[in-house]
Structures are given as C-alpha cells and as structure tokens.
Chain A
Amino acid sequence: MKILVTAKRVTDPNAKIKLKSDKSGIQTDGLEYKPNPFCENAIEEALRLNETHGGEVVVVSIGPSDVQATIRTALAMGAHRGILVTGLDDHQMDSDLVARVFAELYKRERPDLFLLGKQAIDGDSNQVGQLLAEYLEIGQACFASKVEIHGSEAIVTREVDGGLEKIAVGMPAVITADLRLNEPRYASLPGIVKARKKSIDEIDIRSLGIDTHLKVETVAYEEPKTRGGGVTFVGGVDELVGKLKSEAKAI
C-alpha cells in the first residue's frame, strides 16, 4: 500500500502568537516552527498502516526549502521519502491552492491513501483534505479516530458532533486525522541518522502548471477583544454563589 501524508510546518503550537506593531501579520522573530500536530497524527497512522500492510510512505509539504526540516522529522519517524514543493511562502497559499498542489502530487504518485491533518493550527481552516478529495472525485473520511483496512476499503471511525460515526470509503481515499487517532512516536536516534540519507525531491511550483492566484485572501489582522475587568477571587462557595446571583445575575 502506498500512502502520501502531509507534514505542514506551523508556528510552535504552545507559543503565544502576537501581531506585528503595524498589524501586517504575526511577529515571527524568535518564533520556532514545528510540524502541525494533526499532521503528526496522520504521519503516525501512515507508519502504522505501513507496518501492517507494507508499501511506502511518502511525506509531502509545500513551502520554502527550510520546510525540508519538517519533512526530515517525518522521515526520522520512519517515512521512506519526501517531496517538497517550493516557490510559495505561507502568505502565498490558501487552502484551495494547497489542495490543487496535492492533487497534482497525487496524480504523479497514485497512492492508495492520502492522509492529512484535519486542520493546521495556524490558519485553522479545516479544508484541505475535503477540497483534495473533491478535486480527485474520491471519497473522504475526515476527523478520523480509528482507521482499519479491509480489502479495497478503509473503515474509518469519525469524531462528529454527538458521537462517533463509522463509515467505509473505497480506496483510493482521503483521510484526515483527529487528535485521538493515535499517539505520535518520537524519532529514535537511529531513525534520525537514517533520515539524513533519505531523499527529499524538491519540485518548483512553476513546473506544476498550477494557477497560483488565491481564492481566499487575509487582507488584515487584529487582536481579539480582551475580556474586561479581570478576575475577582472569592473566599469560598457562599461568596461565589452570592456574586453569581446578585452581581453577575448568572443563576
């Protein structure tokens, strides 16, 4: 079984993100980059499926050459090779363009499964997997918390509002990973050493013949409204109930 899996580079999920003083974008000075946590779940699942079913795990990403480091992390976890589409910076992409680039990689690689994180923790759009599946006119199983392969189908449990839904998707298919799909492994030292020798192909976006005009543009940024007032510490339960009743009128 051949699997393509994404490794998006995002800002450190635990960093406090602030705007530049001119509000043209976020402050990136001193900010660390990490693999998108949901992509890590997707990579882990790809590796587990590979351990059971054999085949190849190919890690794909888009961005400047620095993003090689993000792909290299996935190779150190055990993926076989990488593809990086270069020539686009973060602000030159929207979900639709990313999906069309992945659709092109799909056509070149013809995988059985395309695994992605359900959303990236920077843009929080939650679109790419769904867009990709429709561009390819294939099935999708988004927000996956369990994946099993039965013959030519993927049986996927999805985390949906109100409970857990199980669906079957004929392969090839797109699956997007939710957090509870698995616990991503850490790269081992031998894994890191091996990863240095694994290949990462760089493909220039211009060679793919894709229209790079954006359908969705972020034209301005602002800080969210902060809550006024600050916290009032209460001495005990009775004082709290009193304040909720008379002051906040919440009960």
Chain B
Amino acid sequence: MGGILVVAEVRDGKLFSGTLSAVQFAQQVGQQTGAAFDIFVAGSNIGSIAEELSYYGAKKVLVEDNPVFAHYLAPGFAASVAAAAKQLGSSYVAGTATTFGKDLLPRVAVRLGAGMASEVTEIVGTRNGRLVFKRPMWAGNIVGHVVVNTDVVVVSVRGTDFDKAVKLANRSEVVPFTGGGANTRVQQRFISFEQTASERPDLTEAAVVVAGGRGLKDGPNFFKIMEPLADSLNAAIGASRAAVDAGFCPNDLQVGQTGKVVAPQLYVAVAISGAIQHLAGMKNSKTIVAINKDKEAPIFQIADYGLVGDAFKVVPELADAIKRARS
C-alpha cells in the first residue's frame, strides 16, 4: 500500500489555496489507510512555494522547478506528475477540481493505468477494502458513491467540501525532482493569458458572494448594481450562466454546474431565477438571500431569506443599509 501524492496548483505565481483542501483530503485518506502523503509542485521559480508547502505534514515535497513549466500545459505536467507518483509508489494522486486539476488529472490517470473520481466531496468509508467516495452527478441533484477498481486511484477534490489543511511547525523534506515532462514531444504551447481584472476576493475563496442574473438587463447595469453591494460586504461578484451568456460579465464569474462551485458564509442572489444548474454551484452556502421580482422564482425554494422586489430599487438601498449596519 503506497501513499498519497497531492498535486499542488500554482496560480498567478502563487500557491493556490485550494491545494490545501486536497491536502486535507490526503490526510483523511491517511486516517483511513494509515498511509503518508507527499506533495508535487511544478513551475518556474517556485522555491518559495515549495517552502510554503513544506509546513503541512507531507513526508516529502517534490519540486520540479523549470522555466519550461512557467505556464501550465497538460501533456508535460501530466508526464512529470505520473513520474513522481511512480517513483514514490503512490496509491493515490489527488488534486484540485479546478480548471487546472480537471485538465491535468485525467492524463495522469492514463499514464498510471488508474481510474479517476471527479469532484469528490466526501470519503464515505470502504467497500471490499477500497475507499468509497461521494461525488455530485446530474448538476448535484444526485450524489453518487463511487469506487475506483485500479491499483492507483486518481481524485479531483472539490475545495468547498474539504477544510484547508492547517500549517504545522515541522518542516517536510523538500526534494528537487525531474520527471521528464519538460521534454514532452506533444506539440502544445502557451500563447497568452488575459486575466480577469479584479481587486475583489477570489470567487471560490470569498466569505461573501453576491451574484447577479439576467434580470439586471445589461453589462453596465450589472456592475452598477452589483459593485456597491459587493463593496458593502467585501464580497466577490458572481453571475448566473444567463448573465454570462448575455455578455454582462466575464465567463469566470459563472457560478453553477459548469462554472464555479462556491460555499460562502453568505450568498446574495440578485435577479437570478434559480435554474438547477445555478443551484448546483451555490446551494451549500451557509446563508442564502434571494432578491427577485417574481415571488415564484425557484431561487426562493433554497433561500433562507427572500425579498420580493425590483433589484434596481432594492439593491442600492440594501448596500447603503449594510454599510450603516457595519459601521
């Protein structure tokens, strides 16, 4: 029985904090199986990230620091992750269920002859000696219990369902590693990255999310209504698919089955009707407030507090009232 290999995600030159949810997952697998875990990180100039990763109780932190890895590309990264898992004899490989992990981990699975469970939300127990994982299906309307039948098991971990691992005093061994992925022959290259400009908290990390829907009419109105509300709560801004499809705001604000999954302390849905695909992305929020003109809108069925009214009138009032209440 080998250990667990956690694949760290580097985003914008920094450690992506969702990685620590994957570490938490590895610790939980360790509690079930008695196995230790290691961490693999690849990138360019990532010495400080490797150092940061060495305080979470991993046996080893493998670091592949190479200018070729300045930008993530699936074929090379997958080759190196798989090489690390082979060298360590890992029985599990776990990473984030973000666009990084979703893109990368299936390729790792093929290289290891492994099956992969996507977006795991919980470890349920064991069945015939194998771990059983919960994962959402049908936009979260059904929860499946899955078993992976291969010697090596690959898992992407849904960050909102695992607490972040806690930093420890002891330092893990940091080991430079070369997995061969830098020399991949697959023809694929990075051209450019157009970052969504935002001074706000990351959508998947924020304690408060305010999200707007198609009822906000157009892009200028979307931001005119949502920004003061977000400012009053120090919130991230999200959107329904309808609002993104209509071009009100960038795609990476989309909350839902095919967008981001969020579970903040407070979620305020503004002029969002509440299609099942949207609910799949936010229904685990602690407190949900819905503001909608239509009292019959499905969003009210999962909201804790509902306010029936015109967003254009109510939301500016709400932003002011929250500012007063918090001052």
> A residues within 8 Å of B by Cβ?
11, 13-14, 16-19, 26, 38, 94-96, 99, 118-119, 121-127, 130-131, 133-135, 137-143, 145, 153, 155, 158-170, 173, 178-180, 213-224, 227, 229, 231-234, 236-238, 240-241, 243-245, 248, 250-251
Contacts and interface: CB of A to CB of B under 8 A. Distances in A.
B98 A161 contact: yes
A163 B305 contact: no
B170 interface: no
Contact of B103 (A130, A214, A232): A130
Contacts of A215: 114-116, 148-150
By DSSP majority rule, is chain A's interface helix, strand, loop, or mixed?
mixed
Nearest to A183: B245
B107 A224 contact: no
B36 interface: no
Contacts of B123: none
Contacts of A135: 110
A124 B318 contact: no
Contacts of B245: 179-180
B194 A163 contact: yes
A168 B251 CA distance: 21
B70 interface: no
14 contacts: A16-B141, A19-B142, A38-B258, A95-B106, A96-B110, A121-B139, A131-B109, A134-B106, A142-B74, A159-B251, A161-B260, A217-B147, A240-B318, A240-B321
B314 A237 contact: yes
Contacts of A127: 106, 109, 116, 118
Given A139-B75, A143-B103, A250-B265, 11 more contacts: A26-B142, A126-B118, A134-B111, A139-B188, A140-B75, A170-B188, A223-B141, A231-B301, A232-B305, A237-B321, A241-B325
Interface of B: 11-12, 73-75, 78, 98-100, 102-107, 109-111, 114-119, 127, 132, 136-150, 186-196, 204, 208, 233, 241, 244-245, 250-252, 257-258, 260, 265-266, 276-277, 283, 286-290, 295, 300-308, 314, 317-318, 321-322, 325-326
Q: Chain B contact residues: over half helix, strand or loop, or mixed?
A: mixed
A133 B193 contact: no
Give the top 9 A-B pairs by smallest Cβ distance, nearest first: A170-B187, A215-B115, A130-B106, A134-B110, A139-B188, A220-B145, A134-B107, A166-B191, A250-B266
